[in-house]
Structure 1
Amino acid sequence: MTLRPRRLALVAVAAALAVTLPVPPAGATGPNAARTASADASRTASTHASRTGPSGVPRTGFETSHGARWTTQDQERDFLAAVDRASDRVRTERIGTTVRGRPLRLVRIGAPAPKSVPEVRRGNSVLLICSQHGDEPSGREACLSTVRDLAFAEDPATRRFLERTSVLVVPTANPDGRAAGTRGNADGVDVNRDHLALKTAEGRAMAAVIRDHRPDVIYDLHEYGATTPYYMKDVLALWPRNLNTAGPVHHESAVLSEDYVRATARRAGFSTGVYGIWTDPVTGDPMKQVAGDGQERILRNTAGVKNSLGVLVETRVDALTDAEKADPALNNRRRVGSQLAGLKGLFSFAERHRARVEIATTAARLAGFADRGPVYLGGADNEPPAAEKVLKNPPCAYRLDAAQLAQVGDELRLHGVTWRQDGAGAVVPLRQSMRALVPLLLDGRAQSPLTAAAPVEHCRAPGAGR
């Protein structure tokens, strides 16, 4: 039987929000006003969640404890199973297993829930990757409650949104790290540095999801520790800086980051900034870059190289007020509230920019078949690449010998890279959707290649390139 609550907080479509995150009172300015609004927003969300509990709607462990404790993995399992049973908008499946035997789950949401990959591919889709770093739990809590809110919201705007948009969620992208409270996985590997090599079970599972579903937007939720007074905003965001990101995809990613995620968070009373950039505390001018480059192995950059919009969101961990210092639950609720504000901006963007995003991602996927233009092995959109890092006339293909194919064939498949058999080895053409990715994986001059394959300068066999 489908549960029908009177009303749930929806952080999906701006026009359909049941709970409005407050802004600072009229006349209030400065950081104290933002801190007050942030705390009020998290308290509002927590209070609403407690009111909906008696109706039988599933609640997370975080919500039932009013932010005192993060949702355990057993609670996550039970919560997702309850939502799945009660709503025809949600389908949960296992997409992998960690080295400690914990499940990696994917939640598909729609109206109704997509039953297959082709159903997702037919329309616009958004993928949320939550808690890649196990010691950054607030994004995971926002993802879990958003799954529930989208599953049960009754307003027409949300239903229309979900009829045209598939929302995909990996609620816990690093379950072993979450269980241990560590940044890395059980082997100590930073999963957000494994989106090229795919050596971890977590990275491989996410690569398969991206390959199969081809999401239009990949939204990556993180947390960070502030550096006073230069790097201390409530919400930071960043688009793909990798130069192999197609122009329209890069542009729409920046619009999502700056005009929707950050702008929505500001309207909710949170301070915002660009991830990785220290700013002058008086003028607000950028001082230096400490993170956020164009490395293709980081998810937001991998997303761009793979022709999806990519956005990284980092929210501040530190307690901001004496009240938050005295009550960790209050700090936790504010952290989750800031993540929910960013998600509100994401869903508003996905609704309003639907056509532009589909045009941008489709064009980017088709452009690789033209096999034209340079490929960049370094640099970023704010850092000109060294001359030796630009393949102005890249080879038309790379040849793998038998040993190399055995070594990297599985990773190429997970990335969605195609090749043709060549004796015991293979020839990997650039003329394919993942054109820009191929040299990053196979050219010995790249930053993190899987192997140093032999460049092929003249391609004559059908399907092998130009």
Structure 2
Amino acid sequence: MKVRVLGTLLGTAALAVPLLSAPAHGADTGRTAPPRTGFESSNGARWTTQPEEQDFLRAVDGASARTTLTTIGTTKEGRPVQLVRIAERPRTTSTVLLICSQHGNEPAGREACLSRVRDLAYATDRKTRDFLRGTTVLVVPTANPDGRAANTRGNSDGVDINRDHIALATAEGRAMAAVLRDRKPDLVYDLHEYGSTPKVYDKDLFDLWPRNLNTDPHLHAESQKLSDRYVRPTAHASGFTTGTYGIWTDPVTGEPTQQVAGDGQERILRNASGIKHSAGLLIESRVDALTEAEQKDEALNQRRRVASHLTSLDGALRYAAERRVPLALATTHARLAGFADRGPVYLGGADNDPAEPSEILADPPCRYVLTKDQIADVRDELALHGVAFKSTASGAHVPLRQSQRALIPLLLDSRATYPLTKGKSDTHC
């Protein structure tokens, strides 16, 4: 078996890359051949099963010293939510987090993630190893294991996990929040699939950066660079078309005509991670068959969907390699900015939808005051969000002068759209 090494990380042309006939990473790969996913073994005829995924990840973890496999949560039905860490060193300059298959009926991104986990673990070329000396790659291969088992969008309770990054009501959402808090990724890359509308909304790939207005401007700019200069050009070089997620266009002029998704809603991962000081991108591959041949051959359709994700993912990893230092500087600046306790906080709006005056806290309170019952209800969620608070005899105080300053009003202000609880604003600290 031959393993394709990361094309755009190693060279300039996507997918035009050298092949490895066998792993050769000194003592940490042993003598075994690299494992294959169920998708690869069937040539795209079926998706990798969850038992196959577990065997695959265990094989990769056991073969490479640069990988670590941990369980970060357990679903209601008892399935593990797992995290793979890939790096040459215990500490690196930056961290990339791949979140795959939040929606269980969108499996193509998961297959791309599994393949790239293996490729990064087994790669022997100098450029990839140099990349992994400076960058840690974290991967959640299946963020919604129960949904994947049932082939449903939501989890076993029918909850859309990608709408749970504020409330943290699900085990899956809580697991990802803990990763964001503890690993502090500089980049969050979220892989999905979508159903097209012919002529007005039917690109091979759509992407979208954090639109929430509380995203640090430097990280907003980095996220757009990721899309404009890396992911989209890499996809185009491989013959895939791209567009902006949620925007319908006129089939003749190409001008935007309607917005059907993609606002600044804070409970969506790409926005939540932006508010929490990570650059990021949502990427969506087209599910629908492109040709008559794909209609007749499901494997052909599935291979195209996975190939488009693999290509876009290579663009994202090349961005992480080339923009490692500027990205780390941007995230560090964003994480420290909250301690200055200056500037507005936005309860609504987006980068393409200016906030109404009623949605802007031009002069936010210095803290929120919670009762004993309130802090008892939201203590765990605040901790998972990385929000510090001070317990008092009557409840708790949550100061805004901290790294998660912009997030706190979204969690506690009475005017927020998705508050955990409605705290009392205090302007006299």
1:250-286, CA deviations, whole angstroms, 9 ceiling, x for partnerless residues? 1001111222111111111000000000011112111
SS at match of 2:214: coil
Task: State the distance in 1 between where 2:235 and 2:56 align.
Answer: 27
Contact residue 131 and residue 137 of structure 1 kept, 8 A = yes
Task: State the distance in 1 between where 2:4 and 2:412 align.
Answer: 47
1:170-203, CA deviations, whole angstroms, 9 ceiling, x for partnerless residues? 0000000000000000000000000000000000
Match of 1:251 in 2: 221
User: Is structure 2 residue 397 aligned with structure 1 residue 433?
Assistant: no
Alignment root-mean-square deviation, CA? 1.9
Work out the percentage of aligned pairs sharing the same amino acid.
61
SS at match of 2:4: coil
Match of 1:398 in 2: 368
Contact residue 16 and residue 158 of structure 1 kept, 8 A = no
Match of 1:389 in 2: 359
Aligned pair partner of 1:15 in 5, 10, 13? 10
Measure how far apart 1:10 and its partner are.
2.0
SS at match of 2:3: coil
Aligned pair partner of 1:280 in 220, 230, 250? 250
Match of 2:348 in 1: 378
User: What is the identity, as a one-letter code, of the residue corresponding to 2:130?
Assistant: R
Match of 1:77 in 2: 54
1:40-71, CA deviations, whole angstroms, 9 ceiling, x for partnerless residues? xxxx99xx89x879972111011111101100
Match of 2:385 in 1: 415
Contact residue 93 and residue 325 of structure 2 kept, 8 A = no
Match of 1:343 in 2: 313
* CA distance 1:346–1:12, shift in 2 (3 Å): farther
Match of 2:27 in 1: none
Measure how far apart 1:354 and its partner are.
1.1
User: What is the identity, as a one-letter code, of the residue corresponding to 2:62?
Assistant: R
Task: State the distance in 1 between where 2:72 and 2:332 align.
Answer: 26
Task: State the distance in 2 between where 1:142 and 1:52 align.
Answer: 20
The within-5 A match list for 1:233-248 is 233-248=203-218
The within-5 A match list for 1:145-160 is 145-160=115-130
Task: State the distance in 2 between where 1:310 and 1:431 align.
Answer: 25
Task: State the distance in 1 between where 2:384 and 2:353 align.
Answer: 30
SS at match of 1:426: strand
Task: State the distance in 1 between where 2:140 and 2:193 align.
Answer: 17
Match of 1:104 in 2: 81
The within-5 A match list for 1:23-42 is none
Contact residue 14 and residue 237 of structure 2 kept, 8 A = no
User: What is the identity, as a one-letter code, of the residue corresponding to 2:83?
Assistant: L
Contact residue 12 and residue 150 of structure 1 kept, 8 A = no
Aligned residues: 422
Match of 1:218 in 2: 188
Contact residue 7 and residue 15 of structure 2 kept, 8 A = no
User: What is the identity, as a one-letter code, of the residue corresponding to 1:88?
Assistant: A
Aligned pair partner of 1:132 in 98, 102, 109? 102
Match of 2:40 in 1: 63
Match of 1:182 in 2: 152
The within-5 A match list for 1:260-339 is 260-339=230-309
Contact residue 3 and residue 34 of structure 2 kept, 8 A = no
Measure how far apart 1:335 and its partner are.
0.4
* CA distance 1:297–1:13, shift in 2 (3 Å): same
Moved more, 375-384 or 415-424: 415-424
Task: State the distance in 2 between where 1:387 and 1:89 align.
Answer: 50
User: What is the identity, as a one-letter code, of the residue corresponding to 2:3?
Assistant: L
Measure how far apart 1:109 and its partner are.
0.2
Task: State the distance in 2 between where 1:103 and 1:62 align.
Answer: 20
User: What is the identity, as a one-letter code, of the residue corresponding to 1:10?
Assistant: V
SS at match of 2:229: helix
- 5+ residue gaps, structure 2: 24-30
- 5+ residue gaps, structure 1: 23-43, 460-466
Task: State the distance in 2 between where 1:277 and 1:194 align.
Answer: 23
